[in-house]
Structure 1
């Protein structure tokens, strides 16, 4: 299986959890070679099998090479988890061309490239999980570009599920809510964090492990009748 954005955050948690469940994992990364190598080492020390592969998901040729390398290493590909993404807080009116390109290229185009390769490379009965955001249905000021890209990911997820259904390949998305990560806490005071936490009915922030658990469920036989769905893992927030 392949996990894009596998060197950090949800992607890293997914790699480690899925390896423990017996999956052979290709940890795809863009810049974090050291982190990816650490993940692979940890998986191997625990008795699992993993490789690290550099890929810029905004380039289709890189994604194709990622699938080639994974197939060579494991003899086939049964699953894709498309975690690679980027987030930026900027009002729509103040968003310049560079920021627009980054958000659309990484979040939407990068996911699309991975889905295109998976559509032709996954063995029958395989599974694809994309990553969206629980904020998509709400519309949060400052997150317009990210949410637009993630809304596109959800649309692609629903359509590809119907296009690949005849081959027994399921396509779903996980849409996490507020997760307690360094990225989330950057630029926020303790008071800001408490304010966000108070908006969650469960009265706490989520953890990347909980998002990874949802991904693992969607890939498992327990979810064999779950297809074209967006699983919002958000503690009831939004």
Structure 2
């Protein structure tokens, strides 16, 4: 090598006290160069995942995936509103779990988040206790299963009322409350919206999830002007009672084998992603539909 490249590599070689190269390994010259220490706990990169002092409302969070999300947000320092409809004992257990961590606070609020009125009540209780709302996680929903021949208006209306109308109007209600440059709205969908393994009985369920994905994209443009991010988490099969309902074990095993890990996802696989999207570290992630299926579809 000659010329510029030779000079470059010569400059990179370590020097001895006489200024001569003492071996042929590439190294960054240390003389006169300040070497940064390993980042401390106060590093700006570490601090951006903290939710300390923020208030998160998680719909349907007394059990399963919602409970895992609530606990994870609390572990990151958030004050969490744990929402339930019937199981107060389960909600109280989640609240105590969060409080026992000593990082974030928590309250349990009975409210039917599948209705517009219930969603507003949930926000009112959050404001009464914590004085603000920074994060809304729209976890609750239902999974109806009917083919076209069995779908009637009542079934269709129920699916869309709970899975689309309620989360949309809850997002509308929380939008004026969220802080600019830091507010977060996180919707939930399903990887079935893009899967070739979709079954005919998922007609209305997937129609609602497709609607949610488009709502999320549009709101990201709308609320993004205020620095509020809107994203959708789209899990694959998660091992919950709702997922297992009505499925024989051989079908569940077959679905699990589709993953490279040969298992179903767990609620604890979903929660860290939600916590990340809620954090300041995710400020540049907006309008995204993030698939979470362990590599079942790549």
Instruction: Indicate the TM-score class for this superposition, using the shorter chain for normalisation.
Output: over 0.9
Contact in 1 for aligned 2:113/2:122 (Cα 8 Å) = no
RMSD value, Cα? 1.5
In structure 2, relative to structure 1, the CA distance for the partners of 1:191 and 1:58 (3 Å cut) is closer
Contact in 2 for aligned 1:58/1:113 (Cα 8 Å) = no
In structure 2, the partner of 1:64 is 120
**Equivalent of 1:128, from 169, 180, 185?**
185
Please state if 1:151 is matched with 2:210: yes
Write the mapping of 1:95-114 to structure 2, written as runs, cut at 5 A. Answer: 95-114=151-170
Structure 1: runs of 5+ lacking an equivalent: none
Helix, strand or coil for the counterpart of 1:2?
A: strand
Structure 2: runs of 5+ lacking an equivalent: 1-55
User: Which has more helix, going by share of residues?
Assistant: 1
Structure 2 Cα separation of the partners of residues 88 and 50 of structure 1: 31
**Displacement of 1:211:** 1.1
Please state if 1:52 is matched with 2:52: no
Computing the radius of gyration over CA atoms, which structure comes out larger, 1 or 2? 2
- Number of aligned pairs? 238
Contact in 2 for aligned 1:108/1:149 (Cα 8 Å) = yes
| Post-superposition CA distance 1:116-153 (Å, at most 9, x none) | 11211111121111111110123432111111111111
In structure 2, relative to structure 1, the CA distance for the partners of 1:181 and 1:59 (3 Å cut) is closer
Helix, strand or coil for the counterpart of 1:196?
A: helix
* TM-score when normalising by structure 1: 0.94
